[in-house]
Structure 1
Amino acid sequence: MRRFRRAAGVWAARGGENGPAAGEARELAAAAGVRTAVLVEGESDLVAVEALARRRGRGLDAEGVAVLPLGGAMSIGRFLAVCGPDGLDVPVAGLCDAGEEHYFRSVLERTGPRSHLTHADMEELGFYVCVADLEDELIRCLGVDTVQEVLDVEGDLRSFRTFQKQPAQRDRGVDRQLHRFMGTHKGRKAQYARALVGRLDLDRVPLPLDKLLAHV
Structure 2
Amino acid sequence: MSRQRSEVATAILVEGASDRAAVLAAARLLGVDLAARGVQVVPMGGAMSVRRFVAELGAEGAGLRLRGLCDAGEVRFFEQAGLPTDAVFVCRPDLEAELLRALGPRRTEAVLQQEGDLRLFRMFQRQPAQRERTLDQQLHRFLGTTSGRKEQYGAALTSALRADELPAPLRDVVQPPT
State the TM-score, normalized to the length of structure 2.
Answer: 0.92
Q: Identify the match of residue 169 of structure 1 among 107, 110, 130.
A: 130
Q: Identify the match of residue 148 of structure 1 among 101, 106, 109.
A: 109
How far 1:81 moved relative to its partner?
0.5
How far 1:32 moved relative to its partner?
5.8
Query: What letter corresponds to residue 41 of structure 1 in structure 2?
Result: E
2:39 matches 1:78? no
Q: Aligned residue for 2:120?
A: 159
Structure 1 or 2: more helix by fraction? 1
Q: Identify the match of residue 25 of structure 2 among 42, 47, 51.
A: 51
How far 1:96 moved relative to its partner?
0.4
Q: Deviations over 1:164-205 (max 9, x none)?
A: 011111111111111111111111111111111111121121
Tell me which stretches of 4 or more aligned residues in structure 1 moved more than 4 Å.
Answer: none
Q: How many residues of Structure 1 are paired with residues of Structure 2 in the alignment?
A: 173
Instruction: Please state whether the residue corresponding to 2:146 is helix, strand or coil.
Output: coil
1 or 2 for the larger relative contact order (CA 8 Å, sep ≥6)?
2
Query: What letter corresponds to residue 213 of structure 1 in structure 2?
Result: V
Distance 1:202 1:100 in 2: 26
Structure 1: runs of 5 or more not aligned: 1-30, 113-120
Instruction: Please state whether the residue corresponding to 1:212 is helix, strand or coil.
Output: helix
2:65 matches 1:91? yes
CA contact (8 A) 2:32 2:175 kept: no
2:139 matches 1:178? yes
Distance 1:202 1:139 in 2: 15
Structure 2: runs of 5 or more not aligned: none
2:40 matches 1:40? no
State the TM-score, normalized to the length of structure 1.
Answer: 0.76
Distance 2:74 2:148 in 1: 21
How far 1:86 moved relative to its partner?
2.8
Query: What letter corresponds to residue 210 of structure 1 in structure 2?
Result: R
Paired-residue identity, %: 50
